[in-house]
Amino acid sequence: MLPIVSITLFLPLLGALLIMALRKTSTQAIHAIGIITSGLTLLGSLWMWSRGVNETGFAQLEELDWMPSIGAAYRVGVDGISLPLVLLTTLLFFLTLIYSAKVKERPQAFVVLMLLLETAAIGTFTALDAILFYVFFEVSLVSMYFMIAGWGHEDRQRAALMFFIYTLLGSLPLLLAILGLYLGSEPHTFDMRVWINNPPLDGLAAMLALIAMLFTFAVKTPVFPFHTWLPAAHVQAPAAGSVILAGVMLKFGTYGLVRFALQMTPDAFRDAGIVILIFGVVAALYGAFAALAQSDIKRLIAYTSVNHMGYVIVGVAIAALALDPAIRATALDGSVLQMVSHGLVTGALFFLVGMLQDRAHTREMDQFGGLLKITPILGWSFVLAAFASLGLPGLAHFPAEFQIFLVTLQVEPAAVIVILGIVITAGLYLRAIGKVFLGEPNEKWLAMSDLNTREVLTLAPLLILIIVVGIAPALVLDMIHKTTAALQF
Amino acid sequence: MNLIAIAILAPLVAAVLILLLRRAPAALSLLGTVIGLIASIGLLTNAFAGVAGALTLPGLPDMPLLLVATPLTALLSTLVAVICIFVMIYAVGYMKKDDEKVRFSATLLLFAAAMQTLVLAGDWILLLAAWELIGLSSYLLIGFWYRRPGVTSAATRAFMVTRSADLGLYIAVFILIATTGSSDIATTLNTGGSAAIVAGLLLLVAAMGKSAQTPLHDWLQRAMAGPTPVSALLHSATLVAAGAILLIRTAPMLPAETLLVIGIVGGITTVVTGLIALGENDLKRLLAASTSSQYGLMLLAVGAGVPLAALLHLIAHAAIKSALFLGAGVFQHSRDGTTFGKLEGAGRDQPRIFFGFALAALALAGIPPLSGFFSKDAIIAASLASSDAWLLASFALAGTLLTGAYMARALSILWHGDRQKRSIPGLGWMGAGLAGLVTLAVILGAFFPSIETLLRASLAEDENTLAQILGLSAALSGLALGWFISGERLLGPLLPWSQRGFAVAGGMDNLLVRPAFAIARRCEKLERSLYTGVLAVGRLGLNIGRGARFGDERGIDGLIFALVRGTINLGNRARTLQSGLIHREMAITVVGAALIFAILFIPLLFF
């Protein structure tokens, strides 16, 4: 059988090597290679989807010996939690490369970094060996650092450095936790499946490992108060970088929270469940309120990420606290679906803000006004994405948030206060729409052009999927539910 | 194909077609609405024949989406479709001069589809979804003329107030699903005990938002910034009806404590918003306040334990109020505005429209044999029969009196004044829509008995005479007061309160919106200090690094450099030996070689 996971994983790397090998190539050719490579990668992930996931454990396993003496190996595979994220990743990279076809400044380096980042992201979600996971997890930082530092806005150097150091320091505790799990496993191995089926640590050791992992993933997700790098990085990052950062890389945190923290130290997670839940609730509400105070539209969307990822934390914490397996499955269904929805919706929003900034060279909401009349496609796309982000039924976030809130009420009724977030996000999005797109058109922008074909092609798939996932969440949920319903921890 | 699906999909497909083709919006929207209406009537005839329809769709795991055509839902579906068709006909004329007909028709159809989903929903998730989607359509339609000043804030306010109240629906749904383990509405209606009390109160909160009940009544009047057909369809007959429909559908579950609260909320609303209507200076805003007031009466009926009376008033009110709005829209076109200053004597411009408007007004006041008489009578009878008769009945009678007063006031202003003659484009279409609805407003009462048989419920008959006498005298005295005495004088000291919308302590803005922004600013402040904190940590790290460098230079580096210097000195000394002068080098080599040989051979001498 074709090792389709590995092919999908390394295709972008091959593309990157190809571009590096071709010395003198036109900008167009470089972008073409990038788009074709990521398109093939997307097809690869769709192929993985068609092969599906197993009722229990991981599917589509591919293994190779690597460092047998220490029990590390090349092991990849997917389950219902990672496969949707792989699909999201390949889709967003494909669209980002289409959008970035406008990049004229060092296109070779740009596309190579993007493709490297894509391999790192797919690797993070498919790795079943802790060393491999850690390598991919860290390599992604390097690419994103150069992305921000090289193609960002005014204050990009500082933001890039802050992002890099913050998240690099943030991920060191994870390494300690991985070593702890390694030493606790008997015989010693880095096989994540072994750690999941048979959690190697207990008692204090497990709790310490959990705290270490929580720290890492809290920085990555990010959770209040470890989120300061996020708005800074988003504001300075180029639109393509923001889309990947919010759409894909934030999910490393929540994916790790489920895959490592929840599955490998389940008892400690349950003991700490209330604390994690509180962190989630605070993050969700804080993110919403902080977003409400913004006047820069990109910062506003960055903060709503803190809000939406807060719901994911709440869902995972509830899954740990729930005693009934059905409730637990629903909680995880909601959390994983929320990750996918957030990728689609926030991806679309960052693209839209990027397109707006390309035209106006400002992100201050008060500078705009009445754009719906001048650029109707841009305007209506933003309205759709904004309403999706505020959790309107029929659009992608609703089914996920509904499930999360439902189980929250069932398990910890007091925590359902987090639902206030949907009112605040509604308020801030309506305010943004009102300021930027409604009212009398601002004279300054009368000549602004509407979206071109490249931009429409970038956005359309996301907007369509936002509606499809909202109307037929089963499309994604079936895959997720297959795994979550069988989880034992 | 399933009739339920057609009832929902017909308008939706028409909306999509209009958006894609961008032509013939009027024809397509009428076609979509008519097909939907036929399907709804099909459902209703099936219901009369005792056939219930159902449709199950995949939803969330273990929680499928359900659509059901019970007698009640089929009836409501037909009502929605009927009002829709007349408003659509009217809108063809009303929007004749507007150049964004495509967007208008598509949004209106989207609303129609969402509303059909709401009334036909058989499970909570679908109901919640439709509930929020009609909120979205309302936002888009109120904000239709988004370039005009004040429109954006009106649309935003409407969405925010209803969405905040919707949290009640969300949490009520969670409680019901958690208690019964099912998202099927019919199953969850068996909930009892404290869960039912709490869920019932939360449902009431949601209903108060949508049906614009005090203290959440303010958004509806501002919503009048939208086009008049929107006011007629959404803000009188359908969207606003969702709140009452929710309570009517869940009435079997509601315990006595919750019912009493519902009755009181409805009673207060009917009086408060009735007084607001009396002091209003704008015809559309008067009608909007009146809508809140009439929904207050419906909630009162639910609270009195007779949801059937609420349903009958909902049906009668839907036809009456849409007719009134359509009439107001004609006057608006004829006088370029809806303030009473402009509208004085507008009724004389268009006597036929005025006649229709007056018929509807009398129906709303409850004059026999018009439809409103029967439904209002049922509500008064219900309040008299309830266990808190003194309270609910006085609210109901006060509401009836006020209805008569403000409607008579509107009629009087429209009739007294100078006549202006002006041609109105699209009057034919508008007149047709209005005529249809006025006819319904007049004759609907005749169908109430068959509705009762359909729902297998009947109104209590024993106290009817008393109710009729009380109701009719209240209505007539109200009409007389309104016609002969100005609203300002009737209100007396209440006038400033009425003009402020009875807002206490600055209303919702002061109580909720400002605090929210204050919290947001606090968060932003904290954000900045967190950010500087992180930068400070970074700077601290840099300083430590600098300190380390200093230590390195003076300490470790010093040592290393000392070593290096020593080595260099040694090397220099060694270099003096390598002078490049051959004879000296030769000499050194010879001496060296001699030494080596000596060292090698000396040991041989000893052994």
Percent of chain A's residues with pLDDT above 70? 100
Q: A429 to chain B: nearest residue by CA?
A: B156
- Pick A409's closest partner by Cβ from B174, B527, B533: B174
Q: Angle of helix A297-321 relative to helix A420-436, nearest 10 degrees? A: 160
| Cβ-Cβ contacts under 8 Å, B146 against chain A | 370, 372, 437-439
DSSP state letters, B394-431: HHHHHHHHHHHHHHHHHHHHHHSS-------TTHHHHH
- Residues 415-454 of chain A whose Cβ lies under 8 A from any Cβ of chain B: 416, 419-420, 422-424, 426-427, 430-431, 434, 437-441
Mutate to test the interface with A, among B107, B161, B523 (most CBs of A within 10 A): B523
Q: Residue A455 — pLDDT band, cuts 50, 70, 90?
A: very high
Say if B531 is an interface residue toward chain A (CB within 8 Å): yes
Percent of chain A's residues with pLDDT above 90? 62
Looking at residue A159, its pLDDT comes to: 83
Percent of chain B's residues with pLDDT above 70? 95
- Pick A438's closest partner by Cβ from B58, B143, B170: B143
Tens digits of residue pLDDT in B305-339: 889 999 999 999 999 999 999 888 888 888 888 88
Is 90 exceeded by the pLDDT of residue B113? yes
Q: What is the mean pLDDT of residues B278-303?
A: 91
Output the six-digit token pair for A12: 């972008």
CB contact under 8 A, A477 and B61: yes
CB contact under 8 A, B59 and A473: yes
| Cβ-Cβ contacts under 8 Å, B533 against chain A | 228
- Residues 154-183 of chain A whose Cβ lies under 8 A from any Cβ of chain B: 162, 165-166
Is 80 exceeded by the pLDDT of residue B491? no
Output the six-digit token pair for B87: 């408003």
Domain boundaries, chain A: 272-479
Tens digits of residue pLDDT in B215-267: 888 888 888 888 888 888 888 888 899 999 999 999 999 999 899 999 999 99
- Residues 1-60 of chain A whose Cβ lies under 8 A from any Cβ of chain B: none
Q: Residue B75 — pLDDT band, cuts 50, 70, 90?
A: very high
Looking at residue B339, its pLDDT comes to: 87
CB contact under 8 A, B136 and A392: yes
CA B389 to CA B377: how far, in whole Å?
A: 15
Say if B133 is an interface residue toward chain A (CB within 8 Å): yes
Q: Residue B460 — pLDDT band, cuts 50, 70, 90?
A: low
Which residue matches tokens 């192929």? A47
Output the six-digit token pair for A311: 């719901």
CB contact under 8 A, A427 and B143: no
Alpha helices in A103-202 (DSSP H): 107-126, 130-151, 156-184, 192-197
Q: Residue B554 burial (CB < 10 Å; 0-12/13-18/19+)?
A: exposed
Q: Residue B558 — pLDDT band, cuts 50, 70, 90?
A: confident
Show Cβ contacts of residue A163 under 8 Å, excluding neighbours closer than 6 positions: A141, A144, A145, A148, A229, A232, A233
Q: What is the mean pLDDT of residues A387-414?
A: 93
CB contact under 8 A, B59 and A229: no
Q: Running DSSP on this structure, what letter comes out for residue B456?
A: T
Q: State the count of interchain CB pairs (< 8 A) between A and B.
A: 128
CB contact under 8 A, A419 and B171: yes
Output the six-digit token pair for B207: 């209903």
- Residues 73-132 of chain A whose Cβ lies under 8 A from any Cβ of chain B: none
Mutate to test the interface with B, among A165, A285, A392, A395 (most CBs of B within 10 A): A392
Q: Cα separations (Å) of B366 from A350, B402, B473?
A: 56, 11, 10
> How far away is chain B from the Cα of A185, in angstroms, using its nearest Cα?
36
Say if B518 is an interface residue toward chain A (CB within 8 Å): no
Q: Residue B518 — pLDDT band, cuts 50, 70, 90?
A: confident
Rounded to two decimals, the pTM is 0.89
- Beta-bridged to residue A59, according to DSSP, are A78
Is 90 exceeded by the pLDDT of residue A98? yes
CB contact under 8 A, B516 and A292: yes
Kindly calculate the radius of gyration of chain A based on its CA atoms and give it in whole angstroms.
21
- Pick B174's closest partner by Cβ from A166, A231, A406: A406
| Top-confidence residue, B344 or B558 | B344
Q: What is the mean pLDDT of residues B273-292?
A: 90
Q: B178 to chain A: nearest residue by CA?
A: A410
ipTM: 0.91
Say if B381 is an interface residue toward chain A (CB within 8 Å): no
Say if B542 is an interface residue toward chain A (CB within 8 Å): no
Tens digits of residue pLDDT in A20-66: 888 778 888 899 999 999 999 999 999 999 998 888 888 888 988 88
Q: Residue B506 — pLDDT band, cuts 50, 70, 90?
A: low
Q: What is the mean pLDDT of residues B23-28?
A: 86
Is 90 exceeded by the pLDDT of residue A286? yes
Say if A412 is an interface residue toward chain B (CB within 8 Å): no
Is 90 exceeded by the pLDDT of residue A12? yes
Is 60 exceeded by the pLDDT of residue B462? no
DSSP state letters, A240-273: HHHHHIIIIIHHHHHHHIIIIIIHHSHHHHHHTH
CA B522 to CA B514: how far, in whole Å?
A: 12
Is 70 exceeded by the pLDDT of residue A489? no
CB contact under 8 A, A416 and B174: yes
Q: What is the mean pLDDT of residues B574-594?
A: 71
CA A160 to CA A142: how far, in whole Å?
A: 10
Mean pLDDT of chain B: 86
Is 70 exceeded by the pLDDT of residue B298? yes
Looking at residue A308, its pLDDT comes to: 95
Q: B569-576: long-range contacts (C-beta < 8 A, 24 or more apart)?
A: none
Closest CA to A49 of A463, A479, A470, A486: A479
How long a stretch of residues is chain B? 607
CB contact under 8 A, A439 and B152: yes
Looking at residue B579, its pLDDT comes to: 62
| Cβ-Cβ contacts under 8 Å, B537 against chain A | none
- Pick A405's closest partner by Cβ from B174, B517, B527: B174
- Pick B60's closest partner by Cβ from A426, A473, A485: A473
CA B222 to CA B285: how far, in whole Å?
A: 8
Q: Residue B497 burial (CB < 10 Å; 0-12/13-18/19+)?
A: middle
| Cβ-Cβ contacts under 8 Å, A293 against chain B | 517, 520-521, 523-524, 527
| Cβ-Cβ contacts under 8 Å, A231 against chain B | 527
Q: What is the mean pLDDT of residues B553-557?
A: 72
Looking at residue B505, its pLDDT comes to: 58
- Residues 277-336 of chain A whose Cβ lies under 8 A from any Cβ of chain B: 286, 289-290, 292-294, 326, 329-330, 333
Residue B284 identity (one-letter amino acid): K
CB contact under 8 A, A394 and B156: no
Looking at residue B605, its pLDDT comes to: 61
> How far away is chain B from the Cα of A453, in angstroms, using its nearest Cα?
17
Q: A230 to chain B: nearest residue by CA?
A: B531
Looking at residue A115, its pLDDT comes to: 93
Say if B175 is an interface residue toward chain A (CB within 8 Å): yes
> How far away is chain A from the Cα of B148, in angstroms, using its nearest Cα?
6
Q: If phi over 0 gives left and psi between -120 and 50 gives alpha, with beta otherwise, what is residue B149?
A: beta
Q: What is the mean pLDDT of residues B147-155?
A: 88
- Residues 458-517 of chain B whose Cβ lies under 8 A from any Cβ of chain A: 516-517
Q: Residue A242 — pLDDT band, cuts 50, 70, 90?
A: very high
| Top-confidence residue, B425 or A268 | A268
Q: What is the mean pLDDT of residues B596-602?
A: 72
Kindly calculate the radius of gyration of chain B based on its CA atoms and give it in whole angstroms.
39
